Amino acid sequence: MTGYTRRQMVAALVLLPGVASAQTADAVKVYKDPTCGCCEQWVEHLRKAGFTVSVSNAADMTVVKDSYRVPAQARSCHTGVVAGYALEGHVPAADVQRLLKTRPAGVIGLAVAGMPIGSPGMEVAGAREQPYDVLAFDKSGKTTVYSRHGR
């Protein structure tokens, strides 16, 4: 495979067709920075909701996010993949379940931009929950509000 950049090779591995089809509908693959603690808390949130979750530490999260077409304005600290959909940041399990049930046309992922206090994995005892939106995004990077939380 000479002639390919490292980024192209990693992207190809992330997008191998057989990998996604081998997973069950409730299996989530999470890519995260090895030092991120809130990511582990989000993983536990998904497991408590009934998802089977595997975690991979990624040295270059930009490659992962680019591979799944996560829009720059919607990025956060970790990226998950379930049934071919990207899950960026602290997306509540209930929104993931709704996505899998309804499979809205054109949507390739959900995102919670940044790291809002009170979102799954970002709970802080005694802190006031920040309102946040879960965004749906399409292949072109266009986002729309999928759900609102903390309002």
pTM of the entire predicted model: 0.81
Phi, psi of 38 (to 5 degrees): -65, -25
116 falls within a domain: yes
From residue 88, alpha-carbon distances to 3, 4, 6, 60, 128 in Å are: 31, 27, 23, 15, 23
Domain contains 114 = yes
Question: pLDDT tens across 112-141, in order?
Answer: 999 999 899 898 888 888 999 999 999 999
Q: Which two tokens stand for residue 131?
A: 């309102």
What pLDDT is stored for residue 25 in this prediction?
A: 59
* Mean pLDDT for the chain overall: 85
19 inside domain: no
Q: What is the pLDDT of residue 103?
A: 97
Residue 52 inside a domain? The answer is: yes
Report yes or no on 39 lying in a domain: yes
20 assigned to some structural domain: no
- Binning the chain into helix, strand and coil, the percentages to the nearest 5 are 30, 25, 45
Residue 17 lies in a domain: no
pLDDT score, position 16: 40
Is residue 27 within 8 A of residue 35, CB to CB? The reply is no
pLDDT tens profile 65-115: 999 999 999 999 999 999 999 999 999 999 999 999 999 999 999 999 999
On whether residue 54 sits in a domain, the answer given is yes
**So what's the pLDDT on residue 87?**
98
CA distance 29 to 10: 16
Domain that holds residue 51: 25-149
Q: How many domains does the chain have?
A: 1
